[in-house]
Chains A and B, each alone.
Chain A
Amino acid sequence: MKAYVHGMNRRQFLQMLAIGSGGLALFGRGMPALAQATPAPPVDVQLNTSGWPIEMPIADAAPGTFQAGYARAFQTWLDLNPGVRVQQIEFNPWDAAGLRTAIAGGTAPFTYPIGVMGGWNVAGIQSAFAQGAFADITDVFNRYNVLDMLDPRVAASTSRWMAGDRIFGIPYEVVSSQGYFYNRAHLESIGMERIPMSWTWQDMREMALQLTTPDRKGLAMAAYALNWILPSYGIGFDGLVSRYPIPGRGFNWRWDFTTFVDDMVEGVELWRGMYFDDQSVFSDPNYWDFSQNGPLAAAFYDQRVSMTPGISLFFSDMAQRMNITVAEADQMMSFVRAPLGPTGFTPEQPITPSAWAFSPDLSAEQLDKGVSLFTYMLLGEGFIQTMQHIFQETGDLGAILRSLRWPYANRYSESIPGVEGSLSQAAGSNYSAALNEIFDQPRLPEVGAYIPAEVNNGPGDTPWYDKITRWAFTRDPFDVRAEAAEMESILNQQASTFASTLDENAFAEGIRRYYADWDALLQQTAPLFYEQRFRPFYELRIAPNFG
């Protein structure tokens, strides 16, 4: 066991005091006496949890492990909040159908991931909130000053946990732009040290071809590759120059895949050139999983491919999968945002917090304690205590990085009080620099942050995925132009049958601000795209209705 390497600060002193007085009370008068030593008045509250990130601690976890630190922090919170019982229930919150049923039936755990109920997109999340799937936690969020516990960049990314001035979630993990992990040694073999963030899909094609050898493909990619490529042209189910708002009480959006259909043809040909002609891509129609556990990542671990898609969260897990430390992983691989489109546009948000919601069936007391527990364990004192325990026992920052996916949504991604050293250094200077470069990019406007939450979700993205998965792989003859027009017709036909629940004026006002922000941003970041795509589309489709 390692000794403390620091002097005790005020926070540690208070923690020691709390634990010490709790221990004394427990020793002298048994468990009930512990409650009397704690500041919060006793309550009678039960919280049902489905497991991580709030789970019942393991009683006999080995010292130095995350579980041991978590157990101590958890017990401290329980001691500070007498009368709260936490019950672990058998429930999978990542199963959308099960979670939907549980919320409807009032049996959901006290907290669950927001994205599952919202289809992982802003519009769906806002719609789920409008339908009452998440509790409004504005008051309790402010009472616990949760905003101050968040990393400032996370705190500024509100569209997945706020609607207007109402708050319905708490950020818990940080997700970077989608991008590619690449093998640094393979890259060096073609004379490159790193991939610049300004790379385009055409650059990607050339690099993938150079990286391809008889035993290896340059790139691994999921079945929905075109859902990464075409949005960089501004075209997608919610693409900036393929979807447009219309005023009125009908459904507020329509689709236009014909104005820039030549771009779609170009993007499809680029992908098919890589897959069929260059044979530089490892992919298949049923590779849908691009996670660190899927077939694409497995090919990367085995060095059967040089690049694989991912997000920043995968890094430490990938290191574990390859049985190497994060420092070794930093030497072996790096990460870069997905390529730009040919006119310099990217649809990739630099940072997207993954947030958790709270059950709308919680009483005021349950909500208060639930938010308190969640923030304590993941953003505040409990998090610090857990990490301090790991460091005190192991003296290894790598052990901290392996215990929770870095970087964090809280303010401790760089350093943790009572823990010596820099976490970003421990995570690896290459990887940290790559991530910071992404995180420092300007935020893209998200429409959900500008208009009120819409109850009616409108048409789904099924027709879009129907087309792009076919175009990506089929050897049957097809015509992108004709099928794009057909897709546009299907979506607009579906949209015409929906009504909106939004106030027309509020919608129009939000839309004007949304496009004004895009206008300003694109002039700065992608002037070519602005001139050749955004402005013409705006004049054609948006200006006539919204000025």
Chain B
Amino acid sequence: MAAQAEVLDAPSAQSSVPSEVKARRRWQLALFIVPAFLFQFFWGWYPMLVALFLSMTDAPIRGALTWQGLNNYNRLLLDPLVPMAFRITLIYAGLSILLTFAIPIFVSILLMEMPPNVMRVMMILWFLPLSGIASTLFWQYLYNEQFGLFQWIATAVLGLPPQSFLSSQNWVLLWLILPSILLYGPGLYYLTGLQSIPRSYYEAAEIEGAGFWRKIWTISLPRLRPIIAMTLLFAIIGSLQEFTFPDLMTRGGPNGASRTVVMYIMNILNNARYGDATALAVMLFALIMVATLIYRIVFKADPDQ
């Protein structure tokens, strides 16, 4: 296969290919591209364009649309709860990425330093498959302010006064992110990436006198960069669209302190304001797009660049 590719790539070989073969190849290429293009168009770009259009209408459930221009956007910009939701989303995303994205990198590296048997046990514990609903119910119990385990630890074990967990406006986001640190995170990807780094790299570095941190800094992290690039992008997009866990745990409370933009979109939808909800979704899309573009410009995925 490799030899064939070299022949096809060579200019002399290209020029010798008959025109009917070239045409057939173009058809083949098109046939491969068209399904993906159609899928992307109908499930990606077309809904996006429709949403952009609907955000400038009243978007009733049924019946004729009424053009609103930028009225929906103006209304949202005047709504005090909209900047609040964006602020909370950005804080949530920042904390979430900082705590659930970065920590697993170092945990994975530390795991790789452990004896294989210990590492296997630790991996099982870390990646124990748990149902989302079950773990949510479990965390609801842990945070229960009357009978929860954390309250018991705070009062009976540590002798502290009763604590606010999900009812604390200042701390609620941290309590919501904590389960993600412990249960989720992209650790499995990192471990896979680390295992694919040849041992000879580390051995060579050790011969040159490199220590533990030096090996991490010059070998592990650069070699993980493609995986980090991908998971970081997913983490940015995912955390800016966070909905399910805070909705199940707090419904946005207390005082809206855990209400993300997507949760507020749902609130507006439930109030039958479809044009406003679509406009807010478009605003969120713009934020994610900008964040993604900045990320693509700043972060280089290729470790050899």
Contact = CB atoms under 8 A, between A and B. Distances in A.
A455 B167 CA distance: 35
A497 B75 contact: yes
A124 B271 contact: yes
Nearest to B267: A462
Given A286-B249, A463-B81, A476-B170, A469 B254 contact: yes
Contacts of B74: 497
B255 A457 contact: no
A462 B256 contact: yes
Contact of A96 (B253, B264, B270): B270
Contact of A119 (B79, B170, B272): B272
A292 interface: no
A476 B62 contact: no
A100 B61 contact: yes
Contacts of B143: 286
Interface in B61-85: 61-63, 74-75, 78-81
Contacts of A378: none
Given A100-B269, A119-B272, A466-B256, A282 B61 contact: no
Interface string B162-200: 111011111000000000000000000000000000000
Q: Interface centre among A103, A459, A483, by most B CB within 10 Å?
A: A459
A470 B166 CA distance: 10
Nearest to B136: A286
Contact of A360 (B62, B146, B169, B268): B62
B81 A474 contact: no
A476 B169 CA distance: 8
Nearest to A487: B255
A128 interface: yes
Nearest to A116: B270
A285 B79 contact: no
Given A103-B61, A498-B75, A490 B272 contact: no
A347 to B, nearest CB: 21
A127 B58 CA distance: 14
Contacts of B80: 489-490, 493-494
B145 A465 contact: no
Nearest to B273: A457
Given A132-B63, A133-B61, A466-B253, A460 B268 contact: yes
B267 to A, nearest CB: 5
Contacts of A463: 81, 256
A470 B259 CA distance: 13
A472 B266 CA distance: 24
Given A131-B61, A285-B167, A475-B164, A466 B254 contact: yes
Interface in A467-513: 467, 469-470, 472-476, 483, 489-490, 493-494, 496-498
A132 B254 CA distance: 35
Q: Interface centre among A127, A286, A463, A483, by most B CB within 10 Å?
A: A286
Given A283-B146, A360-B62, A493-B80, A466 B252 contact: yes
A129 to B, nearest CB: 10
Contacts of B75: 497-498
A462 B167 contact: no
B78 A474 contact: no
B contact face: mostly helix, strand, loop, or mixed: loop
Contacts of B271: 119, 124, 457, 459-460
Contacts of A131: 60-63, 272
Given A460-B271, A473-B145, A288 B251 contact: yes
A493 B79 CA distance: 7
Interface in A88-119: 96-97, 100, 103-104, 117-119
Contact of A470 (B81, B169, B268, B273): B169
A497 B167 contact: no
B231 interface: no
Contacts of A465: 251, 253
B272 A128 contact: yes
Contacts of B252: 462, 466
A284 interface: yes
Contact of A475 (B78, B146, B168): B168
B144 interface: yes
Q: Interface centre among B75, B144, B167, B272, by most A CB within 10 Å?
A: B272
A133 B269 CA distance: 14
A460 B167 contact: no
Given A124-B271, A282-B146, A494 B164 contact: no
A494 B163 CA distance: 34
Contacts of B269: 96-97, 100
16 contacts: A118-B272, A128-B61, A131-B60, A131-B63, A284-B140, A284-B144, A286-B251, A459-B271, A460-B270, A462-B252, A470-B255, A473-B164, A473-B167, A489-B80, A494-B78, A496-B78
Interface of A: 96-97, 100, 103-104, 117-119, 124, 127-128, 131-133, 223, 282-286, 288, 360, 455, 457, 459-460, 462-463, 465-467, 469-470, 472-476, 483, 489-490, 493-494, 496-498
Given A127-B272, A473-B164, 15 more contacts: A118-B272, A124-B272, A132-B60, A133-B62, A285-B166, A286-B144, A286-B250, A455-B60, A459-B271, A462-B252, A465-B253, A466-B254, A474-B164, A475-B167, A476-B169
